[in-house]
Amino acid sequence: MIDFHSHVIPETIIAAMRSDPERYATRIDEQSGKRYLVRGKLRLELLPEFSVAEAKLEAMDRKGIEISVISPGPQVFFYNLKDEQGVEAARLVNDGIAAMVAAKPARLRGMATLPMQHPEAAIAEMERVAREYRFTGIELATLAPAGELADPKYRPLLRRAQELKLTVFAHPNNIGASGRLDCYYLTNLIGNPLETTIMVANLMFSGALDQLPGLKLLLAHGGGFAPYQVGRFVHGHKVRPETRAHTASSAKEMLRRFHFDTLTHDAQALRYLVELVGAERIVLGTDSPFDMGDETPRDTLSALSPGVAATLRRNALRLLEEG
């Protein structure tokens, strides 16, 4: 099994947050031998798996994972920093991920974050990690600092990712919906898949997908709500002129342009996704080591028809090797 959704927070950026908590609006607390990332209401235990390659491999072995593509936890996107500070933070994260990969190159692959508050610098950092570290993917938040990824100002970045044949892993950051999602952990349960769905709709209806036919886009959490409401997109495209202003393409066909991870937490939903977009568009994702992750990926794959697990592995290898 190859896990395409596995997070890290490397020591390079942990050290930076510890030494300058004001800059990062984050502090690192230590209590009873454990470390915590603290920001506002967030108090995240920095489990060893976040930053220690050997600990990541121990978790992988326990779950039966052969290779993990490690990407930054969204807590260290740092899109709110000023331009140069954002560039520095992204480089610290990416250098730390590269060091973890170098420690266990047979089992780990790297995915970079970018300083999206500065699109030109983001392109430069993307080129750097592809050149120096041979990363085959980048992770972007579903909502960029200046708005949607579908916004024309981000088109050069996405076009360059397409030219470099990098996989773009779109991962949501928590949202509040004016406070309505602040209860019952809804910022994650609803907010995260909602963010992905909004991004997907904008990429579809803006014409961005038409302009970037070779872009490899991977969606977290089974694609959010998009696969399960795509019929509404299709109907809207028929009856509303706004949805046809920039594209004549079918939303259902455009949905098959994306890749999806398996993280639906429901076997029936996952089987529906396979039927809708095809097994060749899906890769395993565990979201390790977060609490909303998949601790039993073997069971997840066993719920699918024979041969699908092998297909998912081939899909992951293809995304890794084409970069």
pLDDT tens for the chain, 323 residues long, are 999 999 999 999 999 999 999 999 999 999 999 999 999 989 999 999 999 999 999 999 999 999 999 999 999 999 999 989 999 999 999 999 999 999 999 999 999 999 999 999 999 999 999 999 999 999 999 999 988 999 999 999 999 999 999 999 999 986 655 688 889 999 999 999 999 999 999 999 999 999 999 999 999 999 999 999 999 999 999 999 999 999 999 999 999 999 999 999 999 999 999 999 999 999 999 999 999 999 999 999 999 988 898 999 999 999 998 54
Nearest to 71, CA basis, from 322, 273, 311, 319? 319
Q: What's the chain's length in residues?
A: 323
Tokens of 321: 């090797």
- pLDDT for residue 278: 96
**Other beta carbons within 10 Å of 122:** 26
How is the chain split into domains, by residue range?
Answer: 2-8+49-321
200-223 pLDDT, tens per residue? 999 999 999 999 999 999 999 999
Q: How far apart are CA 172 and CA 224, in angstroms?
A: 9
DSSP 8-state code for residue 284: B
The topology under which CATH files domain 2-8+49-321 is TIM Barrel (3.20.20)
pLDDT computed for residue 163 by the predictor:
97
Instruction: List pLDDT tens digits, range 116-141.
Output: 999 999 999 999 999 999 999 999 99
The residue with tokens 């004549």 is: 248
Helices (H), the chain: 11-19, 21-24, 53-63, 83-103, 119-132, 155-163, 186-189, 191-205, 208-211, 230-239, 251-255, 267-277, 297-302, 308-321
Report d(CA 227, CA 222) in Å as an integer: 8
Q: Which residues 6+ apart lie within 8 Å of 109 measured at CB?
A: 67, 68, 69, 70, 101, 135, 136, 137, 320
